[in-house]
Amino acid sequence: MSAECSSYLNADKVLVSGFSCPRAGGDARAVFCCGFQDVKYCCDDPHSFFPYEHSYMWWLSVGALVGLSIAAVVLFAFIITVCVLCYLFISTKPSSKLDAGLSLQVA
């Protein structure tokens, strides 16, 4: 079994000629064409070819990083709010016990 990786333009816009998998001197199990439109290589996973450019994944990573940063800020604000409310609750409690009324005496 073998696969053909078609020619492509890499990130530097240089034409890379097509090749077949597995490559000579490479892993015999790497029979599938994997990678992206601008970066191709042979591998052993038939579902590892993505029909977009490699830089697209970088933008996904930046988006995930921004989303996680926003979530961290919201979580931090929530924790600070809970701490402030707990402090206010504890500091505004009366320091002495309330008077329970008449004391009971043993006859």
Q: What does the pLDDT look like over 28-85, one tens digit per residue? A: 888 899 888 888 889 888 888 877 766 666 666 777 888 999 999 999 999 999 999 9
Q: Which two tokens stand for residue 41?
A: 């290589």
Give the contacts of 52 (CB within 8 A, at least 6 positions apart): 36, 37
Q: What is the pLDDT of residue 1?
A: 58
**32, 62, 34, 59: which is closest to 49 by C-alpha?**
34
Q: What is the predicted pLDDT for the residue at 54?
A: 64
With 90 as the cut, is the pLDDT of residue 13 above it?
A: no
